[in-house]
Structure 1
Amino acid sequence: MKRSSIQRTTKSLLNMRERIRFDLPFQRNSVWKNDRRSYLVDSVIRDCYIPNILVWDNGDGYIWVIDGRQRWESIFFFADGNYKLSKGTADFNGESIAGKRYDELSSEAQFEFLTYNFTMTEFRECSFEEVEEMFYRVNQSVPLTSTEKTRVKVGPAVREMVQELGQHLFFEKIAFTKADRNRYVDEQLIWQFIASASKQDIDFGGASLNQFISNLDEVPAPVTELVEHKIDFMDAAFRNWDQAKRKVLKKVHVGSLFQVVDYALEHGWSEDQFEAWTESFLIDRYSVDSPYGQICQKGATSKGFVAKRLDLMLKDMNQFPLQLELPHSPMDHDA
Structure 2
Amino acid sequence: MKMNKRPLPLATICSYEKRIDPTPDYQRPPAWSRKQKQLLLDTILREYDIPKMYWRAVKRPDGIEYEVVDGQQRLRTIWEFRKGQFGLARDMDDINGYKVAGMKYDDLPLDIRTIFDAYPVDVVVVEDATQTEQEDEVRDMFLRLQNGTILKAQEKRNAMTGAMRDFVKDIAQHAFFQNCRFSNSRFAFDHLAAQTVLLEIEGGPTSVRDSDLNQLYEEHRQFATDGKIAKKVRRVFDFLLRAFPEKTPELERYNVITLYCLVSILIDGYVCDGLEVRLKDWFIDLEAERKEDEAKSDEGKDIQLVEYRRLISQSTDSQESIAARLDFFEKRFFAAVPDIEPKDLQRGFSHEQRLAIFRRDGGVCQLKLRCDGIKVAWDHWHADHKVPHSKGGKTIVANGQVACPDCNFAKGATASLVSAAE
- TM, length-normalised to structure 1: 0.82
Alignment-mate amino acid for residue 254 of structure 1: V
Pair 1:69 & 2:72 matched:
yes
| Deviation sequence 1:249-298 (CA, Å, 0-9, x none) | 22111111111123555253522211111112223225676121111122
Q: 1:227 to 1:209 in 2, by over 3 A?
A: same
Alignment-mate amino acid for residue 13 of structure 1: I
* C-alpha displacement of 1:52: 1.5
**C-alpha distance in 2, partners of 1:14/1:187?**
31
* C-alpha displacement of 1:69: 1.3
Q: 1:221 to 1:258 in 2, by over 3 A?
A: same
Residue in 2 aligned with 1:291? 307
Q: 1:322 to 1:308 in 2, by over 3 A?
A: same
Alignment-mate amino acid for residue 286 of structure 2: F
Tell me, yes or no, if the aligned pair for 2:200 and 2:229 is still in contact at 8 Å.
Answer: yes
Tell me, yes or no, if the aligned pair for 1:57 and 1:124 is still in contact at 8 Å.
Answer: yes
Pair 1:188 & 2:216 matched:
no
Tell me, yes or no, if the aligned pair for 1:154 and 1:215 is still in contact at 8 Å.
Answer: no
**C-alpha distance in 1, partners of 2:144/2:2?**
17
Give the one of 322, 334, 353 matched to 1:306. Answer: 322
Residue in 2 aligned with 1:21? 21
| Deviation sequence 1:10-45 (CA, Å, 0-9, x none) | 111122223323334542221111111111122222
Please give the residue correspondences for 1:1-335 in structure 2 after superposition, counting only pairs within 5 Å: 2-57=2-57, 62-124=65-127, 127-155=134-162, 157-177=163-183, 181-200=184-203, 202-216=206-220, 217=222, 218-240=224-246, 246=249, 248-265=250-267, 266-268=270-272, 270-286=275-291, 290-320=306-336
**C-alpha distance in 1, partners of 2:37/2:141?**
24
* C-alpha displacement of 1:313: 0.6
Instruction: Identify the range of structure 1 (116-125 vs 35-44) with the bigger mean alpha-carbon deviation.
Output: 116-125
SS in 1 for 2:208: coil
Q: 1:137 to 1:262 in 2, by over 3 A?
A: closer
* C-alpha displacement of 1:50: 1.0
**C-alpha distance in 1, partners of 2:258/2:315?**
13
* C-alpha displacement of 1:163: 3.2
Alignment-mate amino acid for residue 86 of structure 2: Y
SS in 2 for 1:121: strand
RMSD: 2.9
Q: 1:238 to 1:104 in 2, by over 3 A?
A: farther
Alignment-mate amino acid for residue 204 of structure 1: V
**C-alpha distance in 1, partners of 2:32/2:101?**
19
- TM, length-normalised to structure 2: 0.66
Residue in 2 aligned with 1:332? none
Instruction: Identify the range of structure 1 (119-128 vs 14-23) with the bigger mean alpha-carbon deviation.
Output: 119-128
Alignment-mate amino acid for residue 207 of structure 1: S
**C-alpha distance in 1, partners of 2:167/2:30?**
22
| Deviation sequence 1:221-250 (CA, Å, 0-9, x none) | 443333333223322323355xxx51x322
Instruction: Identify the range of structure 1 (35-44 vs 131-140) with the bigger mean alpha-carbon deviation.
Output: 131-140
| Deviation sequence 1:182-234 (CA, Å, 0-9, x none) | 42121011112222333446412222222223332232344333333322332
SS in 1 for 2:121: strand
Tell me, yes or no, if the aligned pair for 2:93 and 2:101 is still in contact at 8 Å.
Answer: yes
* C-alpha displacement of 1:321: 5.4
Counting aligned pairs with the same residue, the percent is: 23
Structure 1, gaps ≥5 residues long: 325-335
Tell me, yes or no, if the aligned pair for 2:22 and 2:76 is still in contact at 8 Å.
Answer: no
SS in 1 for 2:147: coil
SS in 1 for 2:256: helix
Tell me, yes or no, if the aligned pair for 2:56 and 2:125 is still in contact at 8 Å.
Answer: yes
SS in 1 for 2:8: strand
